[in-house]
Structure 1
Amino acid sequence: MPDADDLQLRDLLVALAAEAGAIALDFAKRGMKTWTKAHASPVTEADIAIDTFLKDRLGAARPDFGWLSEETADDPARLGKRQVFIVDPIDGTRAFAGGLPDWTVSLAVVRDGRPVAAALAEPEARRVFAAALGHGATVGGRSLVAGSRETLTGARVAGPKPMVEQAQRQGAIVLPKIHSLALRFAKVAVGEIDAGFAGGQSHDWDLAAADLLVHEAGASLTGFDGAVPIYNRPAPVHVPLVCAGFPLHGLLTSTIR
């Protein structure tokens, strides 16, 4: 049954995602330092400032929850927590630093390995996606209902080149890259694209919020074996994933590799 506390958690995440998005926009307006970290991944002053802001505010609201963020050194203590905040201060940092609009602030609460509350701010579009387990998903107060396309002919797809090229050969329309992986999947939930893919090596913070949005909108996000992602494991890394409404999701899992 739906948990009433998940609604309170959703509302907390929505409020803080909106505030974090405003902080990011301010940095983008006035400029910021940018550098690289492991694997030549970019990071900015805004990433660190928002991470600190969210950790302070969420930690004060629910001090008993674990914490996992792209910009915080991993603390194994999270593995002993039933409920964990999973955060990406800026998903799509490369786009953010480059002045492109397709970046997000991604916040989720995971309970027993699956997301139960989520907020995804898309600041450049002035919108915030929200979801709570069993309570549906919304953007700007409007309920999300994913598409129900049955074939790949004319389907709008986005993701890694090897996957989308396979779909293209079956009649799909390949869209330009969407830098924020969370946004790529949220666009499936809102019906702006029909399918999104992720290569291997995506992380919990890229996925958890969008995962709940997708499922609450009536679509699916799984591995190609049909298994849903499990979060807050020792290594928070995932296999290649496919996201789509039904029945297109089943078609993709059986035809794309």
Structure 2
Amino acid sequence: MDDTELAAYLAAEAGKILLEVRASGEFEGKALGKAGDETANRYLVDALRKYRPDDGLLSEESKDTKDRLSKSRVWIVDPVDGTREYGEGRGDWAVHVGLAIDGTATKGAVALPGLDGGIVLRTDSPASGIKYAATPRLVVSRTRPAKEAVKVAKQIGGELVPMGSAGAKAMAVVRGEAEIYLHSGGQYEWDSCAPVAVALANGLHCSRIDGSPLLYNQHDVYLPDLLICVPEMADEVLERVRALAAES
């Protein structure tokens, strides 16, 4: 398997494992989230060490080792993006398997196991025929919508669409269910690497909210904000975010 095929296969298989853990009925709530995280992480880490032993690896659920910093190729994974949604039995959670090459999110896949019988979006299969709405839809956190997103939506006459995990929100833009994902509430590299790789492969704009590039495999893996949107809206959104920052 090439890199994208491997990412898609692993994301899909991890998704199946997570659904089996949830269906077992042995766990619920936070305990279910913890069991799912641990089980999926073990599978992904073992598989990547088997299939790509020379590459670096960064996972939310494993202790970080800085030897990855000397690697050009680093797999960045989130076994369950949206642990809360997964534990609550919702569908808006994801599995992220991304590959950063020289600091750029380059290849990968995002699985949405809880939607439509299981969906995997990947960097080698960009969607076609996607139609975006005339009225911008901004996907935001169900519980803590970014203040910038709320203000920008009001300024451009947009509609807020509450949703769960970062991966689910990013893939909503890829799938044409929203036009903008503007986040400023704090994230880490594993929250966005695979989604950004897939979004870029689909021709979407991806950056920090100040317009600077998203960099991966950094010493500090905190990557607090991002913008994923249809390209024709990027300049306006970035300009409005800059204006809001200047006012504060």
TM superposition score category, shorter chain reference: 0.7 to 0.9
> RMSD of the alignment, in Å?
2.0
Are 1:127 and 2:119 counterparts? yes
The change in CA–CA distance for 1:35 and 1:124 in structure 2 (over 3 A counts) is closer
Q: Which moved more, 1:196-205 or 1:88-97?
A: 196-205
Kindly state the Cα deviation for residue 67 of structure 1 after the two structures are TM-superposed: 0.7
Are 1:191 and 2:176 counterparts? yes
Local SS of the residue matching 2:99: strand
Are 1:181 and 2:166 counterparts? yes
The correspondence for 1:24, drawn from 9, 15, 18, is 18
Partner of 2:60: 70
Is the 8 Å Cα contact of residues 28 and 87 (structure 2) preserved in structure 1? no
Amino acid at match of 1:204: E
The correspondence for 1:104, drawn from 94, 117, 121, is 94
Over residues 170-216 of structure 1, what are the superposed CA-to-partner deviations in whole Å (9 max), with x where a residue is unaligned? 2101112x221022112112211010112242111100011011111
Amino acid at match of 1:195: I
- C-alpha separation in 2, matches of 1:67 and 1:145: 35
- C-alpha separation in 2, matches of 1:146 and 1:223: 24
Are 1:11 and 2:5 counterparts? yes
Amino acid at match of 1:163: E
Partner of 1:228: 213
> Matches of residues 82-161 of structure 1 in structure 2 within 5 Å?
82-125=72-115, 126-132=118-124, 137-138=125-126, 143-144=127-128, 154-159=135-140, 160-161=145-146
- C-alpha separation in 1, matches of 2:196 and 2:132: 18
Is the 8 Å Cα contact of residues 132 and 177 (structure 2) preserved in structure 1? no
Kindly state the Cα deviation for residue 225 of structure 1 after the two structures are TM-superposed: 2.3
Structure 1 ranges of 4+ moved more than 3 A: 33-36, 144-149
Local SS of the residue matching 1:237: coil
- C-alpha separation in 2, matches of 1:169 and 1:112: 38
Amino acid at match of 1:128: V
TM-score normalised by length of structure 2: 0.88
Contiguous gaps of at least 5 residues in structure 1: 1-6, 37-41
Partner of 2:158: 172
Is the 8 Å Cα contact of residues 148 and 247 (structure 1) preserved in structure 2? no
Kindly state the Cα deviation for residue 33 of structure 1 after the two structures are TM-superposed: 6.2
Kindly state the Cα deviation for residue 239 of structure 1 after the two structures are TM-superposed: 3.5
The change in CA–CA distance for 1:207 and 1:117 in structure 2 (over 3 A counts) is same
- C-alpha separation in 1, matches of 2:22 and 2:122: 24
Contiguous gaps of at least 5 residues in structure 2: none
The change in CA–CA distance for 1:116 and 1:232 in structure 2 (over 3 A counts) is same
- C-alpha separation in 2, matches of 1:74 and 1:33: 28
- C-alpha separation in 1, matches of 2:197 and 2:130: 13
- C-alpha separation in 2, matches of 1:226 and 1:146: 25
